Amino acid sequence: MTAAPDASAGPVRLRIEKLVYEGHALARPDGMVCFVDGALPGEVVEARITRRAARHAFADLVRVVEPSPSRRDPACPAFGRCGGCQLLHCDYAAQLEAKRGFVAEALRFLGAEGPAVEPVIASEAQVFFRNKMSFSIGLQDGTPVCGLHERDRHDRLVDATPCVLQSEESRESLRRLQAFLASGRIEPGRWPRRIEVREGRSTGDRMILLERDEGGFPFEPWADLFAGLATTVVASVPPRGALRVLAGPGILRERLGGLSFEIGPRDFFQTHTAQAERLFRLVAGRVGALRPRRVLDLYAGTGAITAFLAQVAGEAVGVEAHAASVEAAARTARLNGLGNLRMIRGDAARVAPGLKGGFEVVVVDPPRAGLDAPARTAVLESGAGTVIYVSCNPATLARDVREFAAAGLRPAWIQPVDMFPQSFHVETVVELRR
């Protein structure tokens, strides 16, 4: 090419350099950054420019001229239209290398003196691994559909019954619901708007949550419809999303690492059971090697990591703002006889400064937005010699690590974990030491 891509022109030929976070393939025609969905590193492709800014552009893939050895046939017929997966066309080994690159690129400011990013801990299962999926319900071209939204479009749904991330039982739940809605027994104006299927992979439990934003919908048919598939069925109704148990106990049982958990409809739990256990064992192993007397777990959620920490520390204190999650963590402590697990409800930045008593280790597992300035200050002022940071977003991880490093908490170990095969997402554990 002799000129930067023009959105008004026809297809342009690009050589792909690498994958970047969010799953885009990156090319640099004449120095301008161009992001292409569906291409892979090393490929030569033809692409059509769809949007252009001053220093970058976005393009749709038209044709692969020279394919990468890592290219494979996607296992799902909806790939490319559905917004759920970005890397289903990419060999798994190449996915792992790309994710390692995402983390390394985000933390490149550490330079040669920083620790190397370890190879990504792979998932044994790359399909059918998700224990929780949510689907929208609506009419698509006159046909009832339980599906995921099309990529970059929220007004159209893609039928999710072929989705390769969910179990066969989850697929059957969607098929039954679509067939029932197509029967016309309930008019579309009274349909649920979403269905969530959640599974205890080690227990066989299955929870179906039906949700509606406004108005009402009948409760009667659902327990019979999902008989034999769900151990519990729950409805969420307006105006405030009140929960009504339609069948079963209203909770999901799960086991990880010898620990028992009871998960409610609104409780957060990692969506990849096997990798969650690896992640929790990894964190507990790093902490346990330090033989700490007290460990503080900020953004503890339902206390899953806190429970693993309680097995390797004298006392594990979890801090979580969401009341239902704190209750779930308390149930976990009772179920497993963890008398040294204590939960405190409150905002991490506000609660942590008041917790005196010498925490040798602080574990943080914040949401995608990372730690805000008050939370970073609270961690620094805790006096802990070691901080274990669990992150699902390399960009906010890098921001926070930079701030910690400037204050004397330097990274000593960086370990990515693949919790989300077929997507660009990557979990990262960083150990920081004073």
What residues are labeled active site? 392
Q: What is the DSSP string of 45-94?
A: EEEEEEEE-SSEEEEEEEEEEE--TTB---SSTTBTTBSS-S-TTB-HHH
Across the strands, what pairs with 52? 57
Nearest to 119 by CA among 84, 151, 93, 149: 93
C-alpha to C-alpha distance for 85 and 426, rounded to whole angstroms: 13
Q: How many CB atoms lie within 10 A of CB 28?
A: 14
Three-class DSSP category at 6: coil
Across the strands, what pairs with 321? none
Q: At what angle do helices 394-406 and 373-381 cross, to 10 degrees?
A: 50
C-alpha to C-alpha distance for 28 and 152, rounded to whole angstroms: 24
C-alpha to C-alpha distance for 296 and 343, rounded to whole angstroms: 10
Q: At what angle do helices 92-106 and 394-406 cross, to 10 degrees?
A: 40
419: Cβ contacts below 8 Å, ≥ 6 apart: 123, 270, 271, 272, 275, 276, 279, 392, 425, 426, 427
